[in-house]
Amino acid sequence: MTADIHVTLTRHLIREDGDEDLCLAMYAPSTGARRDTALIREACLPLEGEREVHGNATVTGRYVLRVAREARNHGLGVVILHSHPCGRGWQKLSELDADAEASYAHMIAQVTGLPLIGMTLAGIDEKWSARRWSAEGNHFAGESVRVVGARLQVSWNERLVPAPSAMPSQLRTVSAWGEPTQASIARLRVLVVGSGSVGMDVAIRLAATGIQKVGVMDFDVVEEVNRDRLVAATRRDARLQIPKVDVAQRACINAATAADFRFQRHHLSVTSPEGQSAALDYDVIFSCVDRPWPRAVLNQIAYTDLIPVIDGGIGIDIFDNGEMRNATYRTHVVRPGRPCLQCNGQLDPAEISRDRLGLFDDPTYIEKGGQPEAGKQNVTMLSASVMASQLALFVSLVAAPSKFGEPGPLRFSLTNHRLEHVEATTNPACIYENLLAQGDQRVPLAQTAATSPATESWLTRPLLGFAVRYVLSLIKWTRRP
Ligand SMILES: [Zn+2]
Ligand SMILES: [Zn+2]
């Protein structure tokens, strides 16, 4: 849920008289490749007489039916929420709670076609717990509840996702922010989209921090021209044109400090439906791609699926004589409550269309006077600054020093080494920011293009590609003096 919805629900559920309270909300499903998420779209607070509060709060059938009908009309599901004023952390479900929720599970599933979600708010630390109900009245505990604002606050189901024990190799990290913060950060699922000069280094540092599940998504392979930026890649990787995700996997496994480190390898593009589904399994996404279409897909997910996206980019200006004029990098957390990449001036709708049509790759288009692909210039010593800034935004988002969350969009100019907070405005009619918590109802931006690697067979492409590359590398090798 967004931080705004969390505040609305908490204000209602935590009462001054210390009694329990109860209310309903509507959710949209967000279906990833391996994870289902319920995104709370709207809190539906009770009208006069729709609930009774007397120690244990109860809702009336009229209230449940009103919200269930409204949810059905919007294609949404129903959440039933109540508070445990003296609770702390993930709450167990008492028999009384289970009976009350189970009694509505069948009716709500019948009316909305979606399973009932039950949630409990612990009054002392404002932690949430959640479960999904089958129409037959069986419940399945959730793994975590995420609240997305300037900070990403996660309530963990300690039984299903226990806190990993801190390792001796993490001593310096844990002493910087304490064990509870480390235990929460280590359990986040973090995806890095784009395993280039920035993404590769971001992924390695996430693994070294002790994060257990780091995913890297990239459909590209290493080439000799990448080696001035991909510091983890070897000459051999470039000669054999090894996929960048495989280089990232090797480097992350070498750097990882978690006892149970799991690298998720996604050799595909986020602009394919498979890539987008995989992205929906993550809690935070680093956008380390420079092409407009993948950035547009991630920009959308940040709002429709409430997954914060930490994006960054660098632009290098050059004088006509080929010398450097300036380098500017911009970094920002894209999330509800902050401007999207389009409002922030980072995405041009015309460029997204050109990228979708494959015109970035079309030399005839460029010769006819179209713009060449932006961002071809890159210096690894400067991409390290972009990486550092994106990682610092991640720390602000998840560890929130002095309770400050992420600071808003940033811009750094190399000529005078000035770091500014960008005054970014939002278009009131923005198509991204106004469509919060759409989940599976989002307008699809990801699609299978004719040239997308996702359309090729998962079996033939790697095998054939590897065979051809191997033969080519042998020929090159035998030609060496
Ligand atoms: Zn209860
Ligand atoms: Zn916008």
Same domain, 247 and 196: yes
Provide the mean pLDDT of the chain: 90
- Please report whether residue 464 resides in a domain: no
Same domain, 152 and 209: no
Ligand located closest to 81 CA: 1
Strand partners for 133: 139
135 lies in which domain range? 3-156
pLDDT at 18 over 50: yes
Same domain, 384 and 244: yes
> Distance from the CA of 27 to the center of ligand 2, in angstroms?
23
Last residue of a domain, one of 129, 156, 183: 156
> Distance from the CA of 306 to the center of ligand 1, in angstroms?
27
Same domain, 435 and 391: yes
pLDDT at 162 over 90: yes
More confident residue, 264 or 56: 264
pLDDT at residue 444, rounded to an integer: 87
Report residues near ion ligand 1: CB below 5 Å: 97
HSE of 235, CA atoms in CB hemisphere, 13 A: 2
Same domain, 126 and 175: no
Same domain, 239 and 349: yes
- Please report whether residue 163 resides in a domain: no
Predicted confidence band at 447 (pLDDT cuts at 50, 70, 90)?
A: confident
> CA–CA separation, 403 vs 386, rounded Å?
24
**Residue ranges with strand state E in 10-116:** 22-31, 36-44, 51-52, 58-59, 77-84
Ligand located closest to 56 CA: 1
pLDDT at residue 475, rounded to an integer: 52
| Amino acid identity, position 339 | P
- Please report whether residue 471 resides in a domain: no
More confident residue, 379 or 185: 185
Last residue of a domain, one of 122, 156, 190: 156
> Distance from the CA of 232 to the center of ligand 2, in angstroms?
35
Nearest to 97 by CA among 82, 112, 87: 82
Same domain, 132 and 197: no
pLDDT at 455 over 50: no
pLDDT digits (tens, 9 = 90+) for 364-407: 554 444 444 445 677 889 999 999 999 999 999 999 999 999 99
> CA–CA separation, 469 vs 382, rounded Å?
31
Ligand located closest to 93 CA: 1
- Please report whether residue 474 resides in a domain: no
CATH number at residue 258: 3.40.50.720
- Please report whether residue 162 resides in a domain: no
Give percent of the chain above pLDDT 90: 77
pLDDT digits (tens, 9 = 90+) for 270-326: 999 999 999 999 999 999 998 999 999 999 999 999 999 999 999 999 999 989 999
Same domain, 190 and 136: no
Nearest to 106 by CA among 73, 126, 78, 140: 78
* Alpha-helix runs per DSSP H in 160-289: 171-177, 179-187, 199-209, 235-239, 244-255, 273-279
pTM, 2 dp:
0.90
Same domain, 139 and 200: no
Same domain, 113 and 230: no
pLDDT at residue 363, rounded to an integer: 54
> Distance from the CA of 309 to the center of ligand 2, in angstroms?
14
Domain count, the chain: 2
> Distance from the CA of 84 to the center of ligand 1, in angstroms?
6
- Please report whether residue 477 resides in a domain: no
- Please report whether residue 56 resides in a domain: yes
SS (H, E, C) 195-213: CCCCHHHHHHHHHHHCCCE
